[in-house]
Structure 1
Amino acid sequence: MKLIINLFNSNRKINSVLFLFTAYCLILLVVRAKLTNTVYLFFLVWNLFLAFIPYLFISCLKTQISFQKSRIKTFTLLFLWLLFLPNSFYILTDLIHLSQSENHLFWFDLVVISSYALIGFTLGIISLIEFENIIKTYTSSLIINLLTPVICFLCGIGIYLGRILRYNSWDILSSPIKLFQDTLASLLSVHALLFSFYFGVYIYLFYSLRKIYSAINH
């Protein structure tokens, strides 16, 4: 409980907004379930949970670990953060489920799904910002500027594995060999590379907007 409180207080303003936004998203699903008597779209709750995981890892790294004192723990958390980071952006692809919405529910479903997509995407961007803030003390701006688009591209690959090849996060443990093989195959596929590239660019451009905004206001 103390860890959770520390993580929340590490960025109280942003975490408060994220908490309210999450509550809003959950309320939307409850309202939809009441209107339709179904739990369709409740998978969004699980996807949002997965979107929070990399944010929790990077927040834990920010508040709990000193790079100099615990490099093993630091690199472990960074690896886990990178492993789960695509989940934050993956939720954007849930907009595909709008094709299953009935006409009288289309606009409501658009608000529901886009709300989950927006908070998930925001968590991913905040995670990238926190990552930059952490490592900029230990490396040069040039390295950061080269590393960030690579991470965005890797997120694109992760989205491809999840949306197109239908892998889940637990497949890292349940089917690691097959996942590794399909990941390598994706790196040799033009379609997979293009998919990963335009999603990676999409993520990077949104991330860059924050840097431009900060530069203008300073």
Structure 2
Amino acid sequence: MKIIIRLFNNNKKINIAILIMCIYCLFLLIIRATITQNIYLFFLIWNLFLAIIPYVLMIYLRTQENIRKNKIKIYLIVGIWLAFLPNSFYIITDLIHLSLSDSSTFWYDLSLISSFAFVGFFLGMQSILEFEKFLLIFYNEKILFIIIPTICFLCGFGIYLGRILRYNSWDVLTNPKHLFLDIGLQLITTKTILFSLHFGILIYLFYTSKKIIFNTKSN
């Protein structure tokens, strides 16, 4: 419990904003369930939970100074973080479920899924920014021009693996053979590269926009 409180207080204003946004999303979901008498779209709760994991991992890594001398632990946490990070941006693809909404709920479902997607993107952006701060402890800013775009592309590829090939983050452990075989096969296809680039560029644009806004406020 002390660790949770410490992590929450580390970025208190941002974490309060995230908490409020999550409550708002859950409120929208409950209203829909009450009106329609079904729990369709409740899978968004799980997707949002998966989006929170990489943010929490990076906050933990950045605030635990005693970890910085343990390279194995750093690599392990960063590896898990990178495996879960695409989940933050994946939620935007849940808009595909609007095809199952009827005319009476379509616009509500659009705002509902978009709200979850927004929170997911926000968590993803904050997670990358926290990783950037951690990275700058060991390297200079020049490395960011290589690492961050690469991470954004990998997130795009992760979205492809999840939405198109239907893999999950934990398949790295439960189904590594088929996962890495598919990764090897898919990375050489034009469709996969274009899909990954498209979402990777989108994520990178959000990242640069957030940095510009943040730096403007800081000045």
- So what's the TM-score if we normalise by structure 1? 0.96
The answer as to 2:45 corresponding to 1:45 is yes
Secondary structure of the structure 2 residue equivalent to 1:103 = coil
Secondary structure of the structure 1 residue equivalent to 2:22 = helix
Match of 2:163 in 1: 163
* CA separation of 1:67 and 1:138: change in aligned 2, threshold 3 A: farther
C-alpha distance in structure 2 between counterparts of 1:68 and 1:202, whole Å: 32
Match of 2:183 in 1: 183
C-alpha distance in structure 1 between counterparts of 2:174 and 2:74, whole Å: 25
Q: Mark the runs of 5 or more structure 2 residues left unpaired by the alignment.
A: none
The answer as to 2:49 corresponding to 1:20 is no
Letter of the 1:143 partner, please give it: I
Q: Percent identity?
A: 52
Could you say what the CA RMSD is over the residues aligned between the two structures, in angstroms? 1.2
Letter of the 1:109 partner, please give it: D
1:49-88 correspondence runs (5 A): 49-66=49-66, 68-88=68-88
Letter of the 2:39 partner, please give it: V
Maintained 8 Å contact 1:98/1:109:
yes
The answer as to 2:205 corresponding to 1:205 is yes
Match of 2:196 in 1: 196
C-alpha distance in structure 2 between counterparts of 1:33 and 1:117, whole Å: 19
1:87-126 correspondence runs (5 A): 87-126=87-126
Maintained 8 Å contact 2:85/2:155:
yes
C-alpha distance in structure 1 between counterparts of 2:70 and 2:153, whole Å: 28
Maintained 8 Å contact 2:68/2:74:
no
Match of 1:32 in 2: 32
Residue-pair matches, total: 218
